């Protein structure tokens, strides 16, 4: 009987060991998420992470990374006329979006690690800055001098001084310099300068100047001043993927 007990105890040991491994695997929780044009499926350890925290990081990376507010981009005179006419409506819509998204963003839970806490704070700051910029931009097309009070005045002083100056010649000079700088970055520099000359000779040249100096000069200057380093984004996406085991990705062909 003693000889039989030895292999039986070994068998029981193997069985128990196998059960422990199976139990550990079964505790993993399925999680699915989308990354641009890809569907991702993986498993996370609930002993390390809470689903609410993973959801929070997911939102920061893919929902709150861009396009937080409606765009009323002004490319042409009809866009300018529209923004001026409907300024108050668009400002009300902006405020409504701000309040709704603020409540969600500020209440997000994130994984308790420095990189995710930092991402949360940076996203909040970008959100606040983008809201302020959108608001200032909408108002400025009707009242360029309002930009004198912009929080981005010191950063984008050249454009603000140009559009708010009573000296139109100052605005025209900055506009011309801006067009020349853009032409050097274009594959067809002459086309850019021809467009500038045509707009400069148009009866509504002052409005064309505002479109270029507010909608592109000032806006891009201010927008670029508060955006996080894009080189950090790839690392964060990779770190998020590493939260999961057995991760599978299914992407649509471009």
Q: So what's the pLDDT on residue 166?
A: 93
- Taking the model in full, what pTM does it have? 0.83
Question: pLDDT tens string for the chain (254 positions)?
Answer: 444 444 434 333 333 444 444 434 459 999 999 988 899 999 999 999 999 999 999 999 999 988 789 989 999 999 999 999 999 999 999 999 999 999 999 999 999 999 999 999 999 999 999 999 999 999 999 999 999 999 999 999 999 999 999 999 999 999 999 999 999 999 999 999 999 999 999 999 999 999 999 999 999 999 999 987 766 667 899 999 999 999 999 998 76
Residue with tokens 């704070």: 121
Q: So what's the pLDDT on residue 42?
A: 96
**Where are the domains positioned within the chain?**
27-251
Tokens of 28: 């993993």
Looking at the chain, the number of H-run helices and the number of E-run strands are 11, 3
Q: How far is CA 141 from CA 61, 70, 144, 167, 209, in A?
A: 32, 17, 6, 17, 11
Residue with tokens 């006329």: 81
Q: So what's the pLDDT on residue 212?
A: 98
For 225, other C-beta atoms within 10 Å of its C-beta total: 14
Q: So what's the pLDDT on residue 36?
A: 81
């Amino acid at each position: 009987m003693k000889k039989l007990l030895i292999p039986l105890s070994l068998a029981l040991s193997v069985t128990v060991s196998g059960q422990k491994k199976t139990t550990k695997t079964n505790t993993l929780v399925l999680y699915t998420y989308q990354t641009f044009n890809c569907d991702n499926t993986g498993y996370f350890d609930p002993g390390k992470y809470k689903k609410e925290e993973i959801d929070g990081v997911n939102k920061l990376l893919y929902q709150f990374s861009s396009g937080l507010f409606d765009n009323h981009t002004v490319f042409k005179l009809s866009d300018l006329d529209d923004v001026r006419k409907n300024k108050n409506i668009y400002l009300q819509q902006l405020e409504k979006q701000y309040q709704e998204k603020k409540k969600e963003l500020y209440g997000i839970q994130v994984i308790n690690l420095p990189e995710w806490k930092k991402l949360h704070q940076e996203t909040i700051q970008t959100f606040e800055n983008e809201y302020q910029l959108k608001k200032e931009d909408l108002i400025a097309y009707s009242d360029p001098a309002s930009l004198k009070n912009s929080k981005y005045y010191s950063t984008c002083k050249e454009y603000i001084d140009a559009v708010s100056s009573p000296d139109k010649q100052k605005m025209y000079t900055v506009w011309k310099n801006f067009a020349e700088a853009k032409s050097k970055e274009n594959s067809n520099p002459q086309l850019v300068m021809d467009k500038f000359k045509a707009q400069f000779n148009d009866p509504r040249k002052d409005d064309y100047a505002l479109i270029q100096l507010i909608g592109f000069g000032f806006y891009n200057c201010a927008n670029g001043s508060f955006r996080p380093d894009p080189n950090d984004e790839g690392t964060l996406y990779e770190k998020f993927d590493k939260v999961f085991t057995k991760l599978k990705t299914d992407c649509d062909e471009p």
